[in-house]
Amino acid sequence: MKIIGLLLCMLMLMSLSSVFANGMTDGVDITGKRYDASVEYKMVPQHPQPDMSERGNYLYLNHNIPICGVSEAAVYYLDLTSCNYYVEDGVAYVSCIVYAGSGGADGQGNPGKIAKKTYRFSTFKNNGQRNIRLLSCVDKNGENVTAREYKWDNGFLYSIFWKAADKVGLSQYLD
């Protein structure tokens, strides 16, 4: 009976360890995915523009939610208050929320529709080179849309990682 109990405990511990993401092997490598101006109709990084109105640069005029990307269908805003990170076994995990604004504009000039996505990244050094991985992207309904986000990436994910890492102060420790 003790042996069966011990085996069940070991099985449970092994299954629990598979629930947590491995930052070195899970997800997709975005280390080399930098912006390529020749690629059209993709999600591209964007910075708040000095020649744009404040309304065009920030969601709801909130300076914690600046524009961070564009596509042919939406403008993307990074919620700086959502950015966080933790470090475990030499791997840093970074997460943040991005809002996609579309559907025209409301009376104040903000997007008519907002879609929330939560991005999770990892970064580590391997053979002296920094690696950055997109671990997951989950939409507001809890659906994993990582493959679709990666498919339409044109340096946007790489840019989001560094903006979030910079916001939480992690980037000063990364090279």
Question: How many percent of the chain have pLDDT more than 90?
Answer: 58
Contact (Cβ atoms closer than 8 angstroms) between residue 72 and residue 41: yes
pLDDT in tens, 31-50: 876 777 777 778 999 999 89
Cα-Cα-Cα-Cα dihedral of 76, 80, 81, 84, to 10°? 110
Q: Distance between CA 108 and CA 94 in Å, rounded? A: 32
Q: Is residue 3 part of a domain?
A: no
Place of tokens 């011990």: 6
Instruction: Evaluate whether residue 150 is within a structural domain.
Output: yes
- Provide the residue range defining the domain that includes 87: 22-173
Query: For residue 1, is it within any domain?
Result: no
- Is residue 152 included in any domain, yes or no? yes
Note the pLDDT tens digit of each residue in 80-105: 999 999 999 999 999 999 999 998 88
DSSP states of 49-111: -TTS-HHHHBGGG-TTSBEEEE-SS-EEEEEEEEEEEEEETTEEEEEEEEEEEEEEE-TTSSE
| Predicted TM-score (pTM) of this structure | 0.82
pLDDT in the model for residue 72: 87
Q: Is residue 2 part of a domain?
A: no
